[in-house]
Amino acid sequence: MKKKLLAILLVMSFGLTFLPIPAHADVLKEGLPEVAGASYAVIDGDSCDVLFGKKYDQTFDPQTLVQMMTAVLIIEKGNLKDTVTAPEMPAAINSGNTVFLRKNEEFKLSRLLEAILTYNANDAAYAAAVHIGGSEEKFIDMMNAEAKNLGMTNTEFKSVYGGAKGQKSTAHDMALLAAKASSLEKYVSLTLKPTMNWNGEMFAHDNIPNANGFQQIMEDGVGLKLSNQKGPKTDKIHLAASYTKGGRTVVAVIADADSEAGVYVDAETLLNYGMDHTKSMKLISKNTPLASLTLAGGQRLRVAAQKNYSVTTINDNSIRPEVRTEIDDLDLPIKKGDVVGQIKAGTGQKATSVPLIALDDVKKPVNWWKAAAILLLLLYLALFIARIYYRSKRRKTPPRRPGKARRQPPRALKHAAGRPGPGPRRPLPANPSGGSESGRRSLENRVREERNRRTYTIHREYPGDDR
């Protein structure tokens, strides 16, 4: 378990209401417009709060709406300048719009993205997915992982371009995906193109009309994706659209509508109603200090939200947003950008958690007593090792070199020099006999004569001396 820091002082930068957060509720519940679709969801594009809806947790096969996720991943994971070589196409590709890509035909990834968003081209989506993911299966795994990140809890993708067995989603989940798509400038700019030109080996046309006609119905609206496939298993229409006004975006998804013209009118009605009867309140600003923590050693740590967060209320609602801040048990050191807690906020829909991150680096405090003890121990060890080293060096006797004469002790040298006291030394007389018997007798005679001479000299200098 993490060791909890007890010395924490939370100083909030602004007033927040710390109340329980509602689990799941729509902002608007009464007087809602009637639409023909079996289910629909209208959400705020920033907070993703559900403004209102009908049976939006009911599952259906999103069909061509899956291309929204394909396009989002192409923009975020791919390089639009890449050259894509078309692979072998599956037969199911022909169930919807195509640009008739031939195997090994080459196009820029940006052109394939345009064909997906403007013309709903199944083969363009398949070729781009295989290029980025390596295979359709691996790209589908990427789609499902991104769905989880977006909170699409009731979605399972099985195709990169259209309908598939076992594939499911809900109007609410598709609205979350549509909100993500509407935040991407590249995505929106391509969906707003009225026409597209294509020059392929098997398909070449100019001014191909946009497959999504929602822009023709709602001037400021954006038709994010339309699914209008007709077949033995489905003849229903699905639409994802958005509307931006005054810097705020509202997103609507309608599932299982009966006609294309009808779904456009219904989408316009829903978007206008959501924009006119609700308001968005920015509650948390990214990287703006929310709290100041006092940690061990008196160190200060500022925390802030990792991203912006807004809540949505009805226009005449004066209730303050409900917010709860939670600080984790912290371990030092802490680096700038580390997640240290979360702030939970929400009105109208289930609570949303926004990570709290550190704005400062906090070092682990130094234990000076421990540091001093370690330093003294190291010093003692150094002295102990040095003492042992010098003792061993003194005891070590250098080996005697063979053939070298041993040095005579000082007394022997003094006697050999022939002087009774200090003074300049005389050199020893040479031994002319080279160590023979006669030579030794001669040396003894000379030494005797020298002693007699010295005795005579001393008696002359000191006549009263008894020596």
Q: Are residues 145 and 70 part of one domain?
A: yes
Average pLDDT, stretch 406-415? 54
pLDDT band of 9, cuts 50, 70, 90: very low
Q: How far apart are CA 243 and CA 106, in angstroms?
A: 36
Assess whether pLDDT exceeds 60 at residue 348: no
Tell me which of 44-48, 293-297, 442-446 is least confident: 293-297
Tell me which of 6-10, 96-100, 197-201, 270-274 is least confident: 6-10
Tell me which of 78-87, 112-121, 214-223, 340-349 is least confident: 340-349
Average pLDDT, stretch 231-256? 89
Assess whether pLDDT exceeds 60 at residue 290: yes
Q: Are residues 117 and 66 part of one domain?
A: yes
Out of 358, 389, 414, pick the residue that ends a domain.
358
Tokens of 90: 């599956």
233 annotated ligand-binding residue: yes
Counting the structural domains of the chain, the total is 2
pLDDT of residue 17: 38
Q: Are residues 205 and 71 part of one domain?
A: yes
Q: Are residues 182 and 148 part of one domain?
A: yes
pLDDT of residue 16: 40
Q: Are residues 309 and 329 part of one domain?
A: yes
Question: Does some domain include residue 298?
Answer: yes
Out of 358, 383, 408, pick the residue that ends a domain.
358
Assess whether pLDDT exceeds 60 at residue 358: yes
Burial of 314 (0-12, 13-18, 19+ CB in 10 A): middle
pLDDT band of 171, cuts 50, 70, 90: very high
Tell me which of 11-20, 97-106, 118-127, 359-368 is least confident: 11-20
Q: Are residues 248 and 169 part of one domain?
A: yes
Q: What angle do CA 116, 118, 123 make, to 5 degrees?
A: 30
Question: Does some domain include residue 182?
Answer: yes
Q: Are residues 69 and 215 part of one domain?
A: yes
Domain that holds residue 69: 39-280
Question: Does some domain include residue 109?
Answer: yes
Question: Does some domain include residue 98?
Answer: yes
CATH number at residue 312: 2.60.410.10
Assess whether pLDDT exceeds 50 at residue 25: yes
Assess whether pLDDT exceeds 80 at residue 318: no
Percentage of the chain exceeding pLDDT 90: 49
Average pLDDT, stretch 377-399? 80
pLDDT digits (tens, 9 = 90+) for 80-123: 999 999 999 999 998 899 999 999 999 999 999 999 999 999 99
Question: Does some domain include residue 408?
Answer: no
Q: Are residues 174 and 196 part of one domain?
A: yes
Cβ atoms of 273 and 252 closer than 8 Å = no
Q: Are residues 77 and 221 part of one domain?
A: yes
Q: Higher pLDDT residue, 137 or 324? A: 137
Out of 228, 262, 280, pick the residue that ends a domain.
280
Question: Does some domain include residue 377?
Answer: no
Q: 371-387 as b/e, with b when 16 or more CB fall inside 10 Å?
A: eeeeeeeeeeeeeeeee
pLDDT digits (tens, 9 = 90+) for 129-169: 999 999 999 999 999 999 999 999 999 999 999 989 999 99
Q: Are residues 116 and 45 part of one domain?
A: yes
Cβ atoms of 431 and 443 closer than 8 Å = yes
Tell me which of 73-82, 262-271, 278-287, 400-409 is least confident: 400-409
pLDDT of residue 365: 73
Q: How far apart are CA 138 and CA 143, in angstroms?
A: 9
Q: How far apart are CA 79 and CA 256, in angstroms?
A: 35
Q: Are residues 208 and 289 part of one domain?
A: no
Summary mean pLDDT of the chain: 83
Closest CA to 242 of 218, 210, 213: 218
Question: Does some domain include residue 162?
Answer: yes
Q: Are residues 300 and 225 part of one domain?
A: no
Question: Does some domain include residue 401?
Answer: no
